Amino acid sequence: MGSLFQKSEAGLAVIKAGVDQDGNPVCINKSNVYMFKKIQRKNKIIFLYHDPIDDKASITKTFPDRESLDSYWDNLVEKW
């Protein structure tokens, strides 16, 4: 599992969504994502995905600066 979290997710079939309340890694399958959007002014990308229990299921990834956001976004769009 450690090697999964060391790779760029642009080349993976999942989005690394962080950890749960117990510290376990949480991922969502990219095939469940139906839309993602970039919020440039807040350095965030929001992924909306299908979840039968939660019709507003989303994951938000926040970046420290615009350069890392743009780099991640470009890589994500290119390799999705």
How many whole angstroms separate alpha carbon 72 and alpha carbon 43?
11
| DSSP label of 7 | S
How many whole angstroms separate alpha carbon 48 and alpha carbon 45?
10
Mean pLDDT of the region 53-60: 87
How many whole angstroms separate alpha carbon 46 and alpha carbon 18?
13
Which DSSP string do the residues of 38-80 spell out, in sequence order? Answer: EEGGGTEEEEEE--SS-TT-EEEEE-SSHHHHHHHHHHHHHH-
Set out the domains of the chain in order of their start, with CATH numbers: 2-79 (2.30.29)
Q: What pLDDT is recorded for position 79?
A: 82
Q: Say yes or no to pLDDT of 10 above 70.
A: no
pLDDT band at 15 (very low <50, low <70, confident <90, very high): confident
